[in-house]
């Protein structure tokens, strides 16, 4: 039937498993940048970092608004909360990401649009069977999706603070800024990587359990916002402020990031935060063990 139809011969080019997973990773990483609205939303999620960029430019003197030297001298006698906004302090790079205010809002917006929908959208469109019968195992599929979402989120949570530090090093008048900050920056980067990995994993597990993308986004919002509300209420009712941090998924991840960075924390429980995060991951993974199977996708 096909003879005489002038079909051109196509050589067989085998595709390795890593190449398939790499394409899956690239597809998920680029999901936010496919539309103008997606790019605009991502840039809006960088607002805390952009505010800190302005502070950094003023502090170094690159942006002459009162003089960076005056700002540095005034910062030495400023209250503790104001000193945390100085670029030579470790909190300058951590709090923009881990703060329960803007940090929580920006992370929730980005992950709700991408990570929370990553697997749920494939389940809703019956795409899991297509993936898992094309040389991609359920575990490989989950890892590819997870790495893509992790790298995308890391642009906001890890790359942006690190870029601020690099700019500060080159804009400073001398090497004193580098000598003062290089001791804590490796811990900051590692802490933010762990912070991002933990929250991305929980969000992706919820996405794999949900039946629709909207349900996954709602569950993720309830996970972060609900646990934060429960923690604050429990802390006030029981008179234990540590509960407001320990029972909140987002705050617990922030406590872990600060602990890795070597920041002294008050009214926190690192062990309790690790137990909360580890327990949630294990519980979701146990519930997921029957959902990411080839038989589940085929039905």
pLDDT tens for residues 24-36? 888 888 888 989 9
Angle at 261 (CA atoms; ends 152, 161), nearest 5 degrees:
40
Asked if residue 9 belongs to a domain, the reply is no
pLDDT tens readout for residues 161-193: 999 999 999 988 888 889 999 999 999 999 999
Asked if residue 22 belongs to a domain, the reply is yes
Give the Cβ contact number of residue 263 at 10 Å: 19
The answer on pLDDT for 58 being more than 90 is no
User: Which one of 54-68, 131-145, 203-217, 233-247 scores highest in mean pLDDT?
Assistant: 203-217
- Please give the distance of CA 236 from its chain centroid, rounded to a whole number: 29
Considering its fold, how many domains does the chain have in total? 1
Mean pLDDT calculated for residue range 63-91: 65
The mean pLDDT value of the chain amounts to 84
Alpha helices per DSSP H over the chain: 17-29, 36-45, 47-60, 68-76, 80-83, 91-98, 102-113, 120-124, 128-132, 138-154, 160-171, 176-181, 185-209, 213-221, 227-238, 241-246, 249-261, 270-288, 294-298
Asked if residue 193 belongs to a domain, the reply is yes
pLDDT category of residue 299 using cuts at 50, 70 and 90? very low
Asked if residue 10 belongs to a domain, the reply is no
The answer on pLDDT for 297 being more than 60 is no
pLDDT tens readout for residues 255-272: 999 999 988 777 788 888
Mean pLDDT calculated for residue range 11-38: 82
pLDDT category of residue 115 using cuts at 50, 70 and 90? very high
The torsion angles phi and psi of 290, rounded to 5 degrees, stand at -100, -10
pLDDT category of residue 298 using cuts at 50, 70 and 90? very low
For 241, the domain range is: 17-298
> What share of the chain in percent tops pLDDT 90?
44
Mean pLDDT calculated for residue range 279-290: 88
Asked if residue 110 belongs to a domain, the reply is yes
Q: For the packed helices 91-98 and 102-113, what is the interaxial angle rounded to 10 degrees? A: 50
Separation CA 193–CA 229 (nearest Å): 25
Give the pLDDT of residue 65: 61
Asked if residue 4 belongs to a domain, the reply is no
Asked if residue 5 belongs to a domain, the reply is no
pLDDT category of residue 73 using cuts at 50, 70 and 90? low
pLDDT category of residue 127 using cuts at 50, 70 and 90? confident
The answer on pLDDT for 59 being more than 60 is yes
Asked if residue 217 belongs to a domain, the reply is yes
């Amino acid at each position: 039937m096909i003879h005489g139809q002038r079909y051109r011969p196509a050589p067989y080019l085998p595709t390795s498993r890593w190449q398939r997973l790499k394409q899956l990773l690239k597809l998920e990483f680029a999901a936010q940048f496919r539309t103008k609205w997606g790019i605009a939303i991502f840039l809006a999620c960088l607002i805390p970092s952009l505010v800190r960029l302005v502070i950094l430019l003023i502090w170094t003197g690159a942006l002459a608004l009162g003089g960076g030297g005056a700002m540095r001298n005034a910062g030495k006698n400023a209250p503790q909360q104001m000193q945390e906004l100085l670029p030579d302090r470790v909190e300058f790079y951590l709090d923009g990401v881990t703060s329960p205010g803007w940090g929580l809002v920006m992370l929730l917006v980005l992950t709700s649009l991408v990570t929370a929908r990553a697997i749920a959208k494939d389940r809703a469109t019956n795409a899991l069977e297509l993936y898992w019968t094309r040389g991609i195992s359920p575990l490989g599929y989950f890892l590819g999706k997870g790495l893509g979402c992790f790298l995308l989120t890391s642009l906001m949570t890890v790359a942006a603070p690190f870029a601020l530090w690099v700019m500060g090093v080159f804009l400073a008048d001398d090497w004193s800024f580098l000598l003062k900050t290089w001791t804590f920056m490796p811990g900051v980067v590692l802490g933010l990587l762990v912070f991002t990995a933990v929250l991305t994993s929980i969000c992706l597990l919820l996405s794999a359990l949900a039946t629709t993308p909207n349900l996954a986004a709602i569950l993720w919002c309830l996970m972060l916002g609900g646990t934060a509300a429960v923690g604050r209420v429990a802390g006030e009712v029981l008179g234990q402020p540590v509960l407001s941090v320990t029972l909140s998924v987002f705050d617990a991840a922030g406590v872990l990031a600060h602990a890795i960075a070597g920041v002294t924390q008050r009214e926190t429980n690192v062990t309790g935060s690790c137990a909360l995060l580890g327990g949630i991951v294990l519980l979701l993974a146990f519930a997921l063990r029957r959902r990411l199977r080839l038989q589940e996708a085929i039905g």
